[in-house]
Amino acid sequence: MNVLFVASEVARYAKTGGLGDVSAALPMYLRRAGHDVRTFMPLYKTVDGKGANVVPLLRDVELRLGPHRYTFGVFVAERPGDAPVHLVDCPALYHRPGLYTGDPDEHLRFLVLCRAALEVCQRTGFSPDVVHCNDWQAALLPLIIQTRYRWDRLFEKTRTVLTIHNIGYQGTVGPHAVRDAGLADSANLFHQEQLKDGRVNFLLHGILYADAVTTVSPTYAREIQTPEYGVGLDPFLRARSSTVMGILNGVDYDEWSPEKDKLIPHRYSAQDLSGKARNKEELLSKMGLPNVPGVPVIGIVSRLVGQKGFRLLEGVMPALLRRHRVQLTVLGSGERRLERMFSAWVRGFPKQVAFYRGFSNELAHLIEAGADMFLMPSLYEPCGLNQMYSLKYGTVPIVHKTGGLADTVKLWDPDTGQGTGVSFANHDARAVQWGIEAALGLYADRNVWRRLMHNGMSEDFSWETQAKVYERVYARVVGGG
Ligand code: ADP
Ligand code: GLC
């Protein structure tokens, strides 16, 4: 199949979170399965083509979006065995301090991405069977294809799949978005009441017009159809519930496994865990914490935003740190309040807590490899990748039982010796405290802990399996089902 895959970030070139990992891995695995997949993302200022063969494909293409005019070019980055990544070059839009902005033209930045992808199809004669749109940034594509590009036989058979990675980000813009999308003639196809209220919700229009809607775990697919998790879009998802499907993300074990990881100092396996102990020493020394044998290390690697649930720790962590011999290594950045919370613990517990504020792929891998436990108290979690990485690294996850966390972490059962981690059902301070103390209790029993690590390490969430599920979805929409 010919697949056009459009996303706002693709790891290796630009990444803020799990969408980047998925957009790098899924196209690659689909390509290995024989499909012609072409990925599109913006050429942000920070994109580094190192390790790829980057060639120019188009330059100086003029694009009108309502009253706005842009000129863009396209480079193609190719790596052996990987799907080509098309980098849309439009410095006026993409040379900003971060990948995402709160700027008034944020929607235009991603409309240009979408339109550039279609223009490249036309100029290269690529007729996509499936356009795979990721998150709000690409969610208007189904409508754009069905209207503005309808005349072009190239897209006659094109079907669309929308994947929702996070319903918390919907891309809500004023009514001028209709014109900016070049859809003034099709204003009647937008949600009329919202338009009257002066709103255009990009993600909603993906839900309305894509041929299939998927999200990134079965539990999240159910959750977002409820008012509690749907962030206002649940009625629309319920209306299309027969096409809404939860497909768990996979893991690229070439990048994220202790046997193959090129970024960690010591590789190891379930059969020989000695490398894990050495990675732990390395982690502690790098983070400036003392290495005290027998003291467990809890790791956190995260965007520091409300979704991730760290506010639950505010009231309980200091007492836990006083009461237990435990260390905490944190990597992340985001909301000031959360950054200040972790910084305050570093000051209050300098031998127990270390916080690296920022983004570091290398440190993320070292924390996975060197920590004993991995904490994700997320309020909601569409899928979550770090808990799956943690399992493979023998780093026992402590998670709130929601979304993909509920689908991937099984609570330890002392009677059967089954289970891969600790999960707690309620989202409150007592529950997270219970979760952490339960994990500390299990850690104290070496045999139990070893079993837990082994159980987790033998789980398999590989993309080989998950990419096949996407192939079936593609086949279904192409077949008209
Ligand atoms: P989300 O996409 O909501 O951020 P995921 O668990 O799906 O959550 O994916 C997060 C990804 O981003 C993981 O690969 C994780 O290692 C990475 N990550 C998050 N924060 C950082 C950071 N500060 N430095 C390096 N990697 C990070
Ligand atoms: C989102 C979600 C995360 C998911 C990732 C990739 O950022 O927050 O749970 O794993 O997308 O699908």
Q: What is the DSSP string of 101-112?
A: ---TTHHHHHHH
Q: Is residue 395 part of a domain?
A: yes
Ligand 1: residue of 247, 302, 389 to mutate (most ligand atoms within 8 A of CB) is 302
pLDDT digits (tens, 9 = 90+) for 253-298: 999 999 999 999 999 999 999 999 999 999 999 999 999 999 999 9
Say if residue 31 is in the same domain as residue 150. yes
- Residues with a CB atom less than 6 Å from ligand 2: 17-19, 22, 165-166, 216, 249, 381-385, 404
Say if residue 228 is in the same domain as residue 281. no
Question: Which string of DSSP letters, residue by residue, matches 147-213?
Answer: HTTTT-GGGTT-EEEEEES-TT---EE-THHHHHTT-GGGGGGS-HHHHHTT-EEHHHHHHHH-SEE
Say if residue 228 is in the same domain as residue 332. no
Q: Ligand 1: distance of its center to the CA of 397 in Å?
A: 15
Average pLDDT over residues 188-205: 98
> Nearest C-alpha to atom 5 of ligand 2 is from which residue?
18
pLDDT digits (tens, 9 = 90+) for 207-232: 999 999 999 999 999 999 999 999 99
- Give Cα separations from 383 to 175, 216, 405, 430, 463 (angstroms): 32, 5, 6, 24, 14
- For the chain, the domain total comes to 2
Q: What is the mean pLDDT of the chain?
A: 97
Q: Is residue 347 part of a domain?
A: yes
Say if residue 90 is in the same domain as residue 167. yes
Contact 144, 172 (CB under 8 A): no
Q: Ligand 1: distance of its center to the CA of 389 in Å?
A: 11
Q: Ligand 1: distance of its center to the CA of 16 in Å?
A: 7
Ligand 1: residue of 386, 387, 390, 466 to mutate (most ligand atoms within 8 A of CB) is 386
Query: What is d(CA 12, CA 301) in angstroms, rounded to the nearest whole number?
Result: 18
Task: pLDDT band for 481, please (50, 70, 90 cuts).
Answer: low
Q: Is residue 67 part of a domain?
A: yes
Say if residue 192 is in the same domain as residue 334. no
> Nearest C-alpha to atom 17 of ligand 1 is from which residue?
17
Say if residue 55 is in the same domain as residue 131. yes
pLDDT digits (tens, 9 = 90+) for 28-72: 999 999 999 999 999 999 999 999 999 999 999 999 999 999 999
Q: Is residue 260 part of a domain?
A: no
Q: Ligand 1: distance of its center to the CA of 65 in Å?
A: 33
Alpha-helical (H) ranges within 100-175 are 106-124, 141-147
Average pLDDT over residues 81-87: 97
Average pLDDT over residues 112-116: 98
Q: Is residue 116 part of a domain?
A: yes
The model scores a pTM over 0.85: yes
> How high is the pLDDT of residue 328?
98
**Is residue 215 classed as helix, strand or coil in its secondary structure?**
strand
Pairing of strands 36-42, 353-357: unpaired
Ligand 1 atom nearest residue 385's Cα: 6
Task: pLDDT band for 480, please (50, 70, 90 cuts).
Answer: confident
Say if residue 335 is in the same domain as residue 223. no
Q: Is residue 269 part of a domain?
A: no
Ligand 1 atom nearest residue 361's Cα: 25
Give residue 326's domain range. Answer: 274-460
**Smallest Cα–Cα separation from 162: which of 128, 145, 127, 138?**
138
Which residues of 43-167 form beta strands (DSSP E)? 53-65, 68-78, 85-89, 130-134, 159-164
Average pLDDT over residues 182-197: 97
Q: Is residue 266 part of a domain?
A: no
**Smallest Cα–Cα separation from 436: which of 285, 278, 310, 302?**
310
Pairing of strands 297-304, 85-89: unpaired
Query: What is d(CA 420, CA 387) in angstroms, rounded to the nearest whole number?
Result: 10
With b for 16 or more beta-carbon neighbours within 10 A and e for fewer, the 316-326 pattern comes to: bbeebbeeeeb
Ligand 2: residue of 215, 219, 249 to mutate (most ligand atoms within 8 A of CB) is 249
Q: Is the pLDDT of residue 145 over 70?
A: yes
Say if residue 235 is in the same domain as residue 169. yes
Domain containing 456 — which CATH number?
Answer: 3.40.50.2000
Owner of token pair 């690529």: 126
> How high is the pLDDT of residue 366?
98
Ligand 2 atom nearest residue 165's Cα: 11
Say if residue 298 is in the same domain as residue 228. no
Ligand 1: residue of 303, 365, 389, 392 to mutate (most ligand atoms within 8 A of CB) is 303
> How high is the pLDDT of residue 408?
98
Pair of tokens at residue 219: 């539990």
Ligand 1 atom nearest residue 358's Cα: 23
Q: Ligand 1: distance of its center to the CA of 393 in Å?
A: 16
> Nearest C-alpha to atom 1 of ligand 2 is from which residue?
165
Least distant ligand from the CA of 165: 2
Say if residue 301 is in the same domain as residue 344. yes
Pair of tokens at residue 104: 């008034």
Pair of tokens at residue 359: 């983004």
Say if residue 422 is in the same domain as residue 468. no
> How high is the pLDDT of residue 53?
97
Say if residue 340 is in the same domain as residue 433. yes
